[in-house]
Amino acid sequence: MDFISNTTNIDIFIASIPIIVLTLGIVVLKWNAAKAGAISLLLVIIIALFRFESTETNIVIAGSKGISLSIFVLSVIWSSVLMYNILEFLGLIEVIGNNITKLVKNPLAQALVVGWGFGGLIQGVSGFGVPVAVVAPLMILMGFSAPRAAAIALIGHCWATTFGSLGSSFYTLQLVTDLPTEEIGTHMAALFALPIFMCGFAVAHIQGGLKSVIRGIPAILIIGTVMTFGQWISAYLNVPQIGGLVAGLSGTLTGWILTLTPILNFEQIQSDSIPDNSHKSNSLNTRKLKNISFHIAFLPYYLILIISLLSQIPLIKSIPIQFGLDYPTNITGLGYIVKAEQDYAGIKLFSHPAPIILFATFITYLVYKTKNMWSKDIGINALKRTYSQCVPSSLGLITMVMMSLIMIDSGMTSLLGHSIAKTTSFLFPIFSPFIGVLGTFLTGSNTNSNVMFGALQLQTAKTLELGVYTIASSQSIGGAIGGAIAPAKVLVGTTIVGLGGQEHKVLKKSLPYCMIILVAVGIQALIISLLE
């Protein structure tokens, strides 16, 4: 008898207990991610041992896989946040933002170029709430009300989340599903076209209602096409870690070019009140950064682009320097077979995002030092801030990744996928992106959502004989869009614009757009699944 035949209906409920506890812990009991993840991890170990008949060896191997996958993802997160913090302490993020905002005049152009394009660009290189923290104040400086600025920042950047943060969310999904990088990357990038365009129309509507949507159609179609192609070509060239960066940069530049044409160069009355200078950042008023060019400020990200492309040269790509562990085949007492893994979550020295980011950071340090832009406390301060920012979320990620891998290797994920397939049947693709949203809503991270539900979605797709690439893509697309309503990110937006305690005002604006986009993504997945 196979594994499914050895389980009962009560096993389906028991297998869902760790996810239920994680959900209730975060949403109802207000536990932080580390506490919720740790308790759920303990529960899943107990259930795996005593209900799903996993051996101690099964648990140790699955836990080790979880740590391996965590290191793969966390190395990207820590290195990208460190680079961003270095630029922040140098005042260069302000240089980048100010150069862009000075080039864009009318409110619709500001919403599209800064809120949509530049927000995606920041997500591409950093993520983890940083786009909201950077873009929302800029929108206020340009005259937008606080709720509108926060909503534009939240909706405007979420399309870049999966291929943003220099690939952490994408690589997580690829690793938990074990789908080939090239295939899942290009497929997902193509499916992202719809949410990219819809985010643009949503930003226009938030800015000025239906009139702005109609007026912005040409610009949105042009910018959206450029950004879609930017993500797709990055995936096609097998450098998905720069997909969000390439798309955001190309979209921002395209938007700026359009402001020089009648498409976005026109008079428009701001839909909000007169700019409120009280929101202006002190650092914007006090720092003297006028002599630093945009290109010097953006140097590390140019370097990431160049080094990432160079890493795909066959000679460099073939260099066999990497860190990864091999795991043997094992089987549980209920007959669930876990296949062997070689170089699991391997970190390749010349192609993994983290070494590329660190190498780019080192070159940037040398350049800035020769230009007398570096002071000895910059590196220390950046490291301290990175540590304080990343430790809490890292602990939560590790425990949730370990929980997820134990669920996978004990057969729980397979059982839940089989149950969902029986319940939803051919309509499952419509629900797929909403599962992704749930993970992001709970954890505030598309990366964590992919860890929690990526394998579950894959298993469900296999059971229903649906296209695995479409369903896996819908998982991460849903998780990305869900960032616009995730409490953790909404809190960043409300805090940065002075609306602490008034999160409902921002959610009221962003939630309808998010739901419309998700329904469209679900319908898209259903249509493609029926045609495959």
Distance, CA of 175 to CA of 190 (rounded, Å): 20
| Residue 279 reports pLDDT greater than 70 | no
Tally the domains of the chain: 1
Q: Can you tell me the mean pLDDT for 104-125?
A: 88
Q: What is the mean pLDDT of residues 352-372?
A: 89
For residues 269, 270, 273, 274, the Cα torsion angle rounded to the nearest 10 degrees is -80
What is the average pLDDT value for the chain, to the nearest integer?
A: 84
Q: What angle do CA 94, 82, 302 make, to 5 degrees?
A: 65
- Whether 87 and 93 have beta carbons less than 8 Å apart is answered as yes
Query: Do residues 431 and 389 touch, judged by C-beta distance below 8 A?
Result: no
Residue 76, both tokens? 């990207």
- CA dist 92 and 302 (Å) reads 14
Least confident of 77-86, 264-273, 317-326: 264-273
What's the pLDDT at 276?
A: 39
Does the pLDDT value for residue 201 go beyond 90? yes
Of 225-239, 278-292, 301-315, 491-505, the poorest mean pLDDT is in: 278-292
pLDDT in tens, 139-150: 877 778 888 888
Closest of 478, 490, 450 to residue 179, by C-alpha: 450
Which among 79, 25, 74 is positioned nearest to 394, based on CA atoms? Answer: 74
Q: Answer whether residue 527 shows pLDDT above 80.
A: yes
Residue 155 pLDDT class (50, 70, 90 cuts): very high
Instruction: Identify the pLDDT of residue 496.
Output: 56
For residue 106, report the phi and psi dihedrals to the nearest 5 degrees. -80, 155
- 3-state SS string for 330-372: EECCCCCEECCEEEEEEEECCCCHHHHHHHHHHHHHHHHHHCC
Q: Would you place residue 500 in the very low, low, confident or very high pLDDT band (cuts 50, 70, 90)?
A: low
Distance (Å, whole) CA 153 – CA 156: 5
Q: Is the pLDDT of residue 280 over 50?
A: no
Per the structure, the complete domain to which residue 37 belongs is given by 4-531
Residue 271 has pLDDT above 90, yes or no: no
Task: Please give the single-letter amino acid code of residue 511.
Answer: L
The residues near 355 (Cβ < 8 Å, ≥ 6 apart) are 347, 349
* Sequence-separated (6 or more) residues with CB below 8 Å from residue 124: 160, 163, 164, 165, 166, 242, 243, 244, 245, 246, 247, 248, 249
pLDDT single digits (tens) 48-106: 999 999 999 999 999 998 898 788 778 877 887 788 789 888 988 778 777 777 777 78
